[in-house]
Structure 1
Amino acid sequence: MEIKQTLNVPAKYLWHKIIESVLYDARRQTGKPLQETQLAGLKYTKTFANHQQSTLQILTLEPNQEYAYTTTTSRNAYTVRYALTAVDAEHTTLVYTEKIDSKGGLQRANDILTSFLLGWGRKRNFKKMLAKMTEEYHQDGQAAS
């Protein structure tokens, strides 16, 4: 899945929102008070609501430009990449990509079917989240500062 969208926010603001979420998740899973500078290459075990566990590893961390991670389970490896490009001081193009590498033919078929059935809703929700971030940026008066 790939989503490419130009947002009416600076790259620095969008980066901050992404990293804020990453830090929250990493702190919750590791129990350690981490800083952005400690995230590059970080690897930890993540437990999901259904008690399934995975290994999450941060692959790329280039401030205001790119963040990528992979989540590995016994069934597949799921890689996500956020690439930010500043268009100008107030606009950023975000390219969000997801890739699933399945282990085994049956799992691959299941992942393809699931992606097909749930893909539209996931894209829609992701775009709603981006719109909400843009709205918050402008409501907070950050655009004027």
Structure 2
Amino acid sequence: MVVEKELKVSAEAFFNEITKSILGDIRRQTGKKVHASQLKPGTNYKKKIPGRPSSNAEVRVKILACEPNILYSSSFTSSIDETITTYEISSLDTDRILVRYTEEYRLLRKTSRLFDESRYMEKRSQKRGLKLLKKIEDTILNDQQESV
């Protein structure tokens, strides 16, 4: 699944917001305080995802790429599936970017479900991707207004 959206924020503000979210997630999941400079390819941690069956509720999150203001990619791997998420950021001008958000989902082993999970995941992730990008943009714009 690929979603592209133009946002009215800078590449730096967008990347900082992603980084802040990742650092908060690491702290919640591991209890460790990590600095943004430590987010490098290969960094990984375990995370419990609510709403998933207990057989695959725990995932290993691994950073695949982290290039400030340009690219962030990570994988979420459980015992039965893997999702790779990627943000590619292109600056259009100082306060406008184009973000290409990609989610790749694949089953690592067959499940007993009767429907095609990959098609379901594709539709669901496309809607979620658009909402996610809009939410990030709104958060940045609200924070900027509050600081003025």
Pair in the same fold by TM > 0.5: yes
| Equivalences for residues 130-141 of structure 1 within 5 A | 130-141=133-144
CA gap of 1:140–1:44, structure 2 versus 1, over 3 A, is: closer
Corresponding residue number in structure 2 for 1:3: 3
1:32 and 2:27 matched: no
Corresponding residue number in structure 2 for 1:16: 16
Corresponding residue number in structure 2 for 1:46: 47
Q: Give, as a single letter, the amino acid of the residue that structure 2 aligns with 1:25.
A: D
CA gap of 1:102–1:115, structure 2 versus 1, over 3 A, is: closer
- Once residues 97 and 121 of structure 1 are traced to their aligned partners in structure 2, the CA distance between those partners, rounded to angstroms, is 13
Shift of 1:133: 3.3
Shift of 1:139: 4.1
Corresponding residue number in structure 2 for 1:64: 69
TM-score normalised per structure 2: 0.81
Q: Give, as a single letter, the amino acid of the residue that structure 1 aligns with 2:66.
A: L
Q: Give, as a single letter, the amino acid of the residue that structure 2 aligns with 1:4.
A: E
Could you tell me whether the CA contact under 8 Å between 2:105 and 2:121 is conserved in 1?
A: no
Corresponding residue number in structure 2 for 1:96: 101
Could you tell me whether the CA contact under 8 Å between 2:81 and 2:105 is conserved in 1?
A: yes
Name the % identity.
27
Shift of 1:44: 1.2
Give me the CA root mean square deviation.
2.5
Could you tell me whether the CA contact under 8 Å between 2:89 and 2:98 is conserved in 1?
A: yes
- Once residues 46 and 136 of structure 2 are traced to their aligned partners in structure 1, the CA distance between those partners, rounded to angstroms, is 28
Could you tell me whether the CA contact under 8 Å between 2:75 and 2:84 is conserved in 1?
A: yes
- Once residues 5 and 26 of structure 1 are traced to their aligned partners in structure 2, the CA distance between those partners, rounded to angstroms, is 27
Q: Give, as a single letter, the amino acid of the residue that structure 1 aligns with 2:44.
A: K
For this pair of structures, how many residues does the alignment match? 141
Q: Give, as a single letter, the amino acid of the residue that structure 1 aligns with 2:13.
A: Y
